[in-house]
């Protein structure tokens, strides 16, 4: 089950700092200035193969300003949708009225939450722990987000606190259908399975939840996951739209491939690229389906592929297919390619085959010198799927030129036929087996060396 975790608390208790530490990123801006975070910020926390969406929220403060009220409402929306809530407190200060109000509302949500005391490295006379005990909270976790104190233990604590799987996912290959509102996602699924399973309307945003539809093709089980359209500005919009976004991301995490439905009449727009980028961050394969193609003339079709967004390097590696959700055009080809992509994206590659390919690429284009040393790529092995991960061992790991990284990525992508599939190359520095070992000379070798030194000195005179 894909879960989401919300971090809430009053302003300036360290929510953004903790968010960056847990996601191992710098997505949230950190400052001593109180109330800097206004909108929800999203990232991912991973526990091995398990991944959870983590949400940084603005500080919940008692303030009569409309802005402060909006920030607090956004935080509570995130808390309502989350599977687990981190209630963050400043461990160097006493419990105040804002903290008590947050605690009271948290308990009314009837959601599982864990209490975390930040800034525990500060020397203080705070009576926070005693106050929490009086309020019935005897279990809490002490950290210092700024200095990474107990962050690893907190990650383990969060993992153990996540709720168990609440439902059984149907068996079959899962295909998530994403796109902007009114792109034709529900129409496409209804036509494909020949059933009116989903409500179809010209009003954008009819679908507000992720709906699973099982179906069978050639004795193989599949599941379509119809998701709500992700609007521009979903972070600040009504909570129904925000919930729809979170559930769409949950669906992406659980699926094997994403079919991104794009309205061919409007072409690929900035919001499409943002959604595609979110899917890429999750490592899932993507097929771009240009819907409503029957409504375009030949010139309009040509113009569709000539736009800057359609020709950008970002979408160049994705397969783009033309379909018509109403007439059923292009469905067979779309499904055949989608099924092939699922199988390819889950394929595991043996080390000997990958090393043969690496040797071939090195022969075609020799590695450059890095800081005066010849770059040596020694071996490569398979690292995992979604994204397909290859680990390359070399005598350098951080200073490899970007153009050579891209050359290797393009070469592996071409040979392994990874079109529309995310590929990640990880470079690791090989360990020197003789590093730290001292080769002690025997007495005979020491005497021989001294004679050689004397001989060289005499010859120089």
List pLDDT tens digits, range 109-123: 888 899 999 988 887
Check residue 205 and give its pLDDT. Answer: 40
Choose among 156, 108, 115, 113: nearest CA to 132: 115
Domain that holds residue 284: 173-345
Check residue 28 and give its pLDDT. Answer: 54
Choose among 234, 219, 190: nearest CA to 81: 234
For residue 410 the two structure tokens come to 């393009």
Identify whether residues 330 and 403 lie together within a single domain.
Answer: no
DSSP-derived secondary structure for 321-365: EE-BTTTTBTHHHHHHHHHHHHHHHT----HHHHHHHHHHHHHHS
Among the candidates 312, 345, 378, a domain finishes at 345
pLDDT category at 232 given cuts 50, 70, 90 is low
For residue 166, being part of any structural domain is answered with no
Mean pLDDT of 129-145: 89
- Considering only residues 315 and 204, tell me which one the structure prediction assigns the higher pLDDT: 315
Check residue 396 and give its pLDDT. Answer: 79
Identify whether residues 331 and 225 lie together within a single domain.
Answer: yes
Identify whether residues 191 and 331 lie together within a single domain.
Answer: yes
Identify whether residues 403 and 312 lie together within a single domain.
Answer: no
What is the tens place of the pLDDT at every residue in 247-304?
777 788 888 999 999 999 888 888 888 888 888 888 999 999 999 999 988 888 888 8
Provide the domain count of the chain: 3
For residue 100, being part of any structural domain is answered with yes
Check residue 202 and give its pLDDT. Answer: 40
Check residue 228 and give its pLDDT. Answer: 65
Mean pLDDT (the chain) is 81
φ and ψ at residue 379, rounded to 5 degrees: -160, 165
Identify whether residues 376 and 440 lie together within a single domain.
Answer: yes
pLDDT category at 241 given cuts 50, 70, 90 is low
For residue 12, being part of any structural domain is answered with yes
Identify whether residues 115 and 180 lie together within a single domain.
Answer: no
Mean pLDDT of 159-168: 68
The CA distance from 137 to 290, in Å, is 54
Q: Return the residue matching tokens 């009220």.
A: 69
What is the tens place of the pLDDT at every residue in 44-91?
788 776 777 788 888 887 665 555 676 777 788 778 878 899 999 998
Among the candidates 139, 161, 183, a domain finishes at 161
179, pLDDT greater than 50: yes
What is the tens place of the pLDDT at every residue in 369-428?
877 788 889 999 999 998 999 999 988 777 888 999 999 999 999 999 999 999 999 998
Check residue 234 and give its pLDDT. Answer: 47
pTM attached to this predicted model: 0.66
For residue 239, being part of any structural domain is answered with yes
163, pLDDT greater than 80: no
Among the candidates 324, 345, 366, a domain finishes at 345
Choose among 335, 339, 322: nearest CA to 256: 339
CATH number assigned to the domain comprising residue 391 = 3.30.300.20
List CB contacts of 16: < 8 A, sequence separation 6 or more. 28, 29, 30, 36, 37, 41, 56
For residue 168, being part of any structural domain is answered with no
Identify whether residues 240 and 339 lie together within a single domain.
Answer: yes
Identify whether residues 101 and 190 lie together within a single domain.
Answer: no
Mean pLDDT of 112-136: 87
Query: In degrees, to the nearest 5, what angle opens at C-alpha 58 toward C-alphas 143 and 52?
Result: 65
Identify whether residues 319 and 273 lie together within a single domain.
Answer: yes
Q: Report the percent of the chain where pLDDT is more than 90.
A: 26
Identify whether residues 119 and 138 lie together within a single domain.
Answer: yes
Check residue 221 and give its pLDDT. Answer: 86
For residue 197, being part of any structural domain is answered with yes
- Give SS3 for 356: helix
Identify whether residues 394 and 296 lie together within a single domain.
Answer: no
For residue 167, being part of any structural domain is answered with no
CATH number assigned to the domain comprising residue 324 = 3.40.50.300
For residue 139, being part of any structural domain is answered with yes
Identify whether residues 326 and 186 lie together within a single domain.
Answer: yes
């Amino acid at each position: 089950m894909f879960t989401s975790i919300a971090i809430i608390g009053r302003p300036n208790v360290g929510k953004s700092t903790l968010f960056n530490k847990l996601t191992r990123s710098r997505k949230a801006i950190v400052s001593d200035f109180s109330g800097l975070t206004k909108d929800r910020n999203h990232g991912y926390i991973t526990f091995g193969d398990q991944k959870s969406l983590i949400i940084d929220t603005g500080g919940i403060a008692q303030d009569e300003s409309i802005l402060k009220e909006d920030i607090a409402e956004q935080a509570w929306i995130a808390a309502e949708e989350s599977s687990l809530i981190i209630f963050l407190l400043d461990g160097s200060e006493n419990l105040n009225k804002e903290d008590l109000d947050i605690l009271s509302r948290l308990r009314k949500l009837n959601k599982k939450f864990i209490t975390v005391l930040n800034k525990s490295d500060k020397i203080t006379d705070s009576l926070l722990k005693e106050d929490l005990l009086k309020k019935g909270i005897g279990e809490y976790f002490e950290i210092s987000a700024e200095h990474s104190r107990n962050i690893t233990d907190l990650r383990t604590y969060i993992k153990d606190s996540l709720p168990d799987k609440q439902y059984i996912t149907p068996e079959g290959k899962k295909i998530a259908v994403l796109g902007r509102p009114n792109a034709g996602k529900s129409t496409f699924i209804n036509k494909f399975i020949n059933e009116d399973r989903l409500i179809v309307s010209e009003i954008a945003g009819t679908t507000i939840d992720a709906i699973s539809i099982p179906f069978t093709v050639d004795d193989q089980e599949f599941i379509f996951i119809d998701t709500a359209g992700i609007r521009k500005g979903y972070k600040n919009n009504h909570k129904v739209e925000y919930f729809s976004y979170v559930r769409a991301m949950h669906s992406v995490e659980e699926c094997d491939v994403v079919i991104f439905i794009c309205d061919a009449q409007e072409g690929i727009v900035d919001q499409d690229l943002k959604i595609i980028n979110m899917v890429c961050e999750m490592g899932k394969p993507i097929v771009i389906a240009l819907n409503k193609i029957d409504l375009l003339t030949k010139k309009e079709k040509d113009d569709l592929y000539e736009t800057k967004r359609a020709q950008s390097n970002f979408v160049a590696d994705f397969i783009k297919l033309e379909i018509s959700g109403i007439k059923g055009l292009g469905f067979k080809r779309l499904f055949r390619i989608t099924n092939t992509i699922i199988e390819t994206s889950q394929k595991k590659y043996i080390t000997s085959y990958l090393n043969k390919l690496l040797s071939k690429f090195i022969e075609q284009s020799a590695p450059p010198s890095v800081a005066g040393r010849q770059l040596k790529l020694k071996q490569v092995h398979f690292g995992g799927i979604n994204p397909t991960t290859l680990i390359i061992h070399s005598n350098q790991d951080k200073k490899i030129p970007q153009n050579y990284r891209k050359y290797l990525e393009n070469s592996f992508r071409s040979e392994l036929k990874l079109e529309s599939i995310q590929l990640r190359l990880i470079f690791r520095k090989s360990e020197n087996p003789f590093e730290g070992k001292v080769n002690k000379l025997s007495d005979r070798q020491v005497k021989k060396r001294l004679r050689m030194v004397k001989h060289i000195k005499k010859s120089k005179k």
